[in-house]
Chains A and B, each alone.
Chain A
Amino acid sequence: MLRAAGKRLLGAGLGYRASPDAVVTAGAARGYHERVVDHYNNPRNVGSFDKNDPTVGTGLVGAPACGDVMKLQIKVDKETGKIVDACFKTFGCGSAIASSSVATEWVKGKQMEDVVSIKNTEIAKHLSLPPVKLHCSMLAEDAIKAAVRDYEAKKANVNGSKEASVGTAEKAANA
């Protein structure tokens, strides 16, 4: 799962590496959008839930070597499928922290099936991320999806279905 996310990001990664001009331009416009600065200075919902809690879904995406690791967790109401709480921890640049902070704000109070449709472009637009920082928003999107998948796998497991246990074991090893 993580690998799949990585492959998609490779495309974006190569985009900026291929053109040295783009890097220079990004440097010139080093300034962050004020929303990024706001989320960086006052990140919303920093923290952790117990990852073994059956009502909690955990998404862990990124890699330390690439400079970004995002952990996003959701707490779901079993009856309604509504996300009652969310939190994150992120190792990464200011844009990555802001993207995950925004993601937790957006998923809170929503139905699970609604949040998987959150697009990275919406997060990027909200934070006015420059092209070189688009991967941060993609990571946030992946983190939301991974968290939802984790919750569903856990639920299936609790319900006695053995098929999903492989996914959960992999997740547990990763987290």
Chain B
Amino acid sequence: MVAKNLPAAAGLLRRLLLSSRRRSYSSAAAFVAEEPSPPSPAPADGGEEGIISMKGVRISGRPLYMDMQATTPVDPRVLDAMLPYNLSRFGNPHSRTHLYGWESDEAVESARSQVAAVIGANPKEIFFTSGATESNNISVKGVMHFYRDKKRHVITTQTEHKCVLDSCRHLQQEGFDVTYLPVRPDGLVDLDQLASAIRPDTGLVSIMAVNNEIGVVQPLEDIGRICKEKGVPFHTDAAQAVGKIPIDVDRMGIGLMSLSGHKIYGPKGVGALYLRRRPRIRVEAQMSGGGQERGIRSGTVPTPLVVGFGKACEVAIKEMDYDGRRIQALQDRLLKGIKEKLDGVVVNGSVEHRYAGNLNLSFAYVEGESLLMGLKEVAVSSGSACTSASLEPSYVLRALGVDEDMAHTSIRFGIGRFTTEAEIDKAIELTVKQVEKLREMSPLYEMVKEGIDIKSIQWAQH
């Protein structure tokens, strides 16, 4: 009887989702057209119609979303795939004694194949984890712990994600040696420097594929070749790259890779670790338990999340080409629109070697946090979500050698599969308006207009 009601429930859910989908994926509509109806369910809806009040900020309607590096919405096709595994097919994939377990196990294995396909790997080389942070931890700490007797040295870059840097710090405390390679002003790693940094006791090279803050794409193939020549495993954090740019673990000589579900329109809380079988790379597990995922990552595999992740990868393969061209066009539109109306706009990081969905801009003479405060109707961030709480300028931009005053002025615009042209246009309009307002208020802009060189002034450093 319960089973009989389930399809009806699913149908209802789908209808509900469809009705809210239109709104959430083209949030610009909330500004472009004056819709009388209140916005889709927001926990902080105020008393007045359409006014959202949260954390002291009041805005009319939900902001348009341009923070795709922080996370992406779940693709409706992904959600459709996930729903049955929450309702009727809820079995534990590790249950060996009944149908519930068998069907869940089958779903997990098919998801494993889908994930493997997006990076050109064998399904047996994919291990599900809670996300890229966990995969990075297993990769960095796991490899070094496993080979600790012979290998005492790790190479990474100064612009890695915090979880790689923090894992490296942890290793340093245990007595390992870590080299943090500097990057060139365009954000790319210097290959000669990498080659000369490799030592006989180097156990791992960890360099991210696409930078989360500035979107630059590292020369993975060249790095992989250098590592192969020197016989060092190459780990890459590809959370921002998988499903967006073509990745092939064999062609790029990748030994370990971290993947994330929620950066590619999949669910949050799931990711994967790619671990090469030939030549075999071994890691020490970071989690003790029932030995699931062949002992690499104990803990029940979350079937619905994994199914969603797999579906997201399948969709990504299908859409990569189309999305890529569309996002590139939207990026061009955004950059052109802003540069047409404002001077003193600088793109941080390489423009050629860049994932188009990430546009990190610095606006001279305007401070980033105040710009963000004025851009409440556009959900953007000044860098990574992890570090947006601190007042320090981004460590990634500092590693690029961006002037400190310019590093304080950066905004990251994230463009994704569901971003519309109307949203881009609205973002341009709001950004230009806000930057102009703040420049009108900026003593630095005034000085520059008067012909005073700001750099020649002796500022009190504090």
User: In the complex, what residues of A have CB within 8 A of residue B462's CB?
Assistant: 5-7, 9-10, 13, 63, 66
Q: How far is the CA of A145 from the CA of B303 in the complex (A)?
A: 64
List the A side residues contacting B365 at CB < 8 Å: 91
Give Cα A37–Cα B55 distance, bound, in whole angstroms.
Answer: 10
How far is the CB of A138 from the nearest CB of chain B, in Å? 10
Pick from B391, B441, B446, B458: contact of A132, CB under 8 Å = B391
Contact, CB under 8 Å: B370 / A63: no
> Is there an interface contact between B441 and A46, defined as CB atoms closer than 8 Å?
yes
* B389 x A91 contact (CB < 8 A): no
User: Which of A6, A67, A91, A92 has a CB less than 8 Å from the CB of B460?
Assistant: A6
Interface membership of chain B positions 362-382, coded 1 if the CB is closer than 8 angstroms to chain A and 0 otherwise: 000111011001100000000
> A5 to chain B: which residues have CB within 8 Å?
460, 462
Among residues 48 to 90 in chain A, which have CB atoms less than 8 Å away from a CB atom of chain B?
Answer: 48, 60-71, 89-90
Q: A36 to B373, alpha carbons, bound, how many Å?
A: 11
B404 at the interface (CB under 8 A from A): yes
Chain B, interface size: which category?
35 or more
In the bound assembly, the distance between CA atoms of A173 and B388 in angstroms comes to 35
Docked Cα-Cα span, A17 to B462, in Å, equals 12
B391 contact set on A, CB distance < 8 A: 16, 23, 67, 93, 132
Asked whether, in the complex, the Cβ of A48 is within 8 Å of the Cβ of B446, the reply is: yes
Q: Which of B102-144 contact A (CB under 8 A)?
A: none
B422 within 8 A of A: no
Task: Please name the residue on chain B nearest to A41 by beta carbon.
Answer: B374
- B367 contacts which chain A residues (CB < 8 A)? 67-68, 91-93, 96
Residues of B within 8 A of A158 (CB): none
Q: Could you say which of A6, A23, A67, A70 contacts B443, with CB atoms under 8 Å apart? A: A70
Contacts of B444 in A (CB 8 A): 64, 69, 91
- Is the CB–CB distance between A97 and B55 below 8 Å? no
Number of A-B residue pairs with CB-CB distance less than 8 Å in the complex they form: 119
Asked whether, in the complex, the Cβ of A69 is within 8 Å of the Cβ of B389, the reply is no
Contacts of B390 in A (CB 8 A): 23, 27
**Chain A binding site: helix, strand, loop or mixed by DSSP?**
helix
Assembled-state Cα–Cα distance A154/B99 (Å): 89
Assess whether A174 is in contact with B370, with CB atoms less than 8 Å apart.
no
What's the interface size class on A, roughly?
A: 35 or more
B57 within 8 A of A: yes
B62 contacts partner chain A, Cβ-Cβ < 8 Å: no
Interface majority SS (helix, strand, loop, mixed), chain B = loop
Contacts of B404-424 to chain A: CB distance below 8 A: 404-405, 408
- Minimal beta-carbon separation of B373 from chain A (angstroms): 4
Expressed in whole angstroms, the Cα–Cα distance for A57 and B57 within the complex equals 35
- Complex CA gap A33/B392 in Å reads 22
Q: Is the CB of B461 within 8 A of A63?
A: yes
Q: Render A1-39 as a binary contact track against B, CB cut-off 8 A, 1 for contact.
A: 011111101100100110000011011101111101100
A60 and B446 alpha carbons, distance in the complex (Å): 13
Q: Is B393 an interface position by the 8 A CB rule? A: yes
A79 to B: closest C-beta gap in Å: 30
Minimum CB distance partner of B403 in chain A? A65
For B443, the chain A residues whose CB sits under 8 A away are 60, 69-71, 89-91
Report the minimum CB–CB distance from B174 to chain A (whole Å). Answer: 20
Smallest CB gap from A37: residue in B: B56
Query: When the two chains form the complex, which single residue of A2, A24, A46 contacts B459, counting CB atoms closer than 8 Å?
Result: A2
**A68 nearest in chain B by CB position:** B367
Chain A residues positioned under 8 Å from B321 (CB to CB): none
Is B457 on the interface with A (CB-CB < 8 A)? yes
The answer on a CB contact under 8 Å between B441 and A63 is no
CB contact between A46 and one of B392, B440, B460 (< 8 Å): that residue: B440
CA distance A4 to B460 in the complex (A): 8
Instruction: State in angstroms the CA–CA spacing of A3 and B55 once bound together.
Output: 36
B459 touches A93 (CB 8 A): no
**B461-A174 in contact (CB<8A):** no
In the bound complex, do residue A30 and residue B389 qualify as a contact, i.e. CB atoms below 8 Å apart?
yes
| Beta-carbon contact of A174 and B440 below 8 Å | no
Q: A92 to B409, alpha carbons, bound, how many Å?
A: 10
Q: Does B86 contact A (CB under 8 A)?
A: no
Query: In the complex, A64→B404 CA distance in Å?
Result: 8
Nearest chain A residue, comparing its CB with the CB of B447: A175
Q: How far is the CB of B47 from chain A (nearest CB, A)?
A: 16
Q: Which of B369, B370, B405 has the most CB of A within 10 A?
A: B370
Q: Which residue of A lies closest to B391 (CB)?
A: A132
Please, how many angstroms separate the alpha-carbon atoms of A91 and B54 in the complex? 26
Most buried by B among A36, A40, A64, A92: A64
Most A CB within 10 A of own CB, among B373, B408, B444: B373
Please give the distance in Å from B122's CB to the nearest CB on chain A.
40
Question: Is A64's CB under 8 angstroms from B369's CB?
Answer: no
Say how far B366's CB is from chain A's closest CB, in angstroms: 7
| Bound Cα distance from A153 to B200, whole angstroms | 67
Q: Is the CB of A30 within 8 A of B459?
A: no
Which residue in chain B gives the minimum CB-CB distance to A67?
B408
Indicate the member of B366, B367, B388 with the most A CB atoms within 10 Å.
B367
| Minimum C-beta distance from B365 to chain A (A) | 6
Are B55 and A91 closer than 8 Å at their CB atoms? Answer: no
* Closest partner residue, chain B, to A100 (CB atom): B441
Separation of A36 and B374 alpha carbons in the complex (Å): 12
A-B contact pairs, 19 of them (CB 8 A): A6-B462, A7-B460, A13-B462, A27-B390, A34-B56, A37-B57, A40-B370, A46-B441, A64-B408, A66-B404, A66-B462, A68-B367, A89-B442, A91-B366, A91-B442, A91-B443, A91-B444, A96-B367, A97-B441
Known: A68-B367, A89-B441. 17 other contacts (CB 8 A): A3-B460, A5-B460, A27-B388, A27-B390, A30-B389, A32-B57, A40-B370, A46-B440, A48-B446, A64-B408, A64-B459, A67-B369, A69-B442, A91-B442, A91-B444, A93-B370, A93-B373
